Amino acid sequence: MSFFVEWNDYLKVNVSILDEQNRKLTMLANKTYNALLKKQTNPAFEEKVLQALFDYAKDHFIIEEELMMKNGYDGLKPHKDEHNNYTTGLVEIFQKHQAGIPVSGPILDLLKDWLKNHVLKKDKELGIFLNSRGIY
């Protein structure tokens, strides 16, 4: 298996539930990447990946946002705005998929941005804040 992104300590935010969920996100990215490399993507595969991403985003965003609200996180609004942007991105990709356009590449682009710019920045900041509140 080739890795689009390999799960490691660098990606951890040191909050167990969030790390567990973000690890699933890297697994979805790697699954999509490997299917593209092997030219095994098709509409059914893309639909399964998109559904998994919608399910992941729903659960993950709810948990993160509840943690932020319960603990008085000052960065709640911009963090939630990013969540909304990723949800919008998923909807746009899904609409292309429904129009018959191959979307494995756009899915990977979204995941790359999500991991690089959200997990490694916003989620890391949140993890530091939650750790300061005794949440691991």
At CA 39, angle to CA 42 and CA 7, rounded to 5? 95
Q: Is 1 a residue whose pLDDT tops 90?
A: no
Q: Which CATH number fits domain 9-132: 3.40.980.10, 1.20.120.50, 3.40.630.30, 3.40.50.10610?
A: 1.20.120.50
- pLDDT for the residue 2: 84
Query: Which tens digits make up the pLDDT trace of 57-85?
Result: 999 999 999 999 999 999 999 999 999 99
Query: Which tens digits make up the pLDDT trace of 81-125?
Result: 999 999 999 999 999 999 999 999 999 999 999 999 999 999 999
pTM for this one? 0.91
Residue spans per domain, the chain: 9-132
Q: How far apart are CA 52 and CA 132, in angstroms?
A: 32
